Amino acid sequence: MVKTINDVIDFATNQAAEEIDVVPQQRVVTSVASDVNTKITMKTHNHYTDPTEQFFAGIWQSSVGAKTVSYTEEEVCVILEGRVRLTDLNGNAKEFGAGSTFALPAGFKGTWETLEPVKKVYVIWQAK
């Protein structure tokens, strides 16, 4: 099926529903978080899901805090605002800030720490 310009999704004008979630307390890394009762709030605007429901793209935001992650999906991130630190299970870490683009492979396990409130574009592919 041929798509037209009307099928192109402009994130700036598309009205994607806002989903608000709080990271479950058992995933919050309290040894990293400054407060044991830290609540990490995330907002997602999923602008696109393909017909197979394996490919997604949108805007994601998070408040400061650290959480455990275990990726089953492939994800490309473009950090628009803020700063994050990813740490693998071996303790190796990298930080990414506004302007950074990186890919997280399926199978990555470790910690995602939002050091400054973050806003990112995400593109995800999830194998079935």
Given a cut of 60, whether residue 122 has pLDDT beyond it is: yes
pLDDT digits (tens, 9 = 90+) for 60-93: 999 999 999 999 999 999 999 999 999 999 999 9
- What whole-number distance in Å separates Cα of residue 126 and Cα of residue 106? 9
Residue 36 banded pLDDT, cuts 50, 70, 90: low
Q: What is the CATH number of domain 17-125?
A: 2.60.120.10
Q: Is the pLDDT of residue 33 over 60?
A: no
Task: Quote the pTM value.
Answer: 0.90
Domain residue extents for the chain? 17-125
| Mean pLDDT (whole number) for 92-97 | 98
Contact 35, 64 (CB under 8 A): no
Distance of CA 70 to CAs 27, 33, 39, 78, Å? 11, 19, 19, 19
**How confident is residue 39, by pLDDT bands cut at 50, 70 and 90?**
confident
Mean pLDDT (the chain) is 93
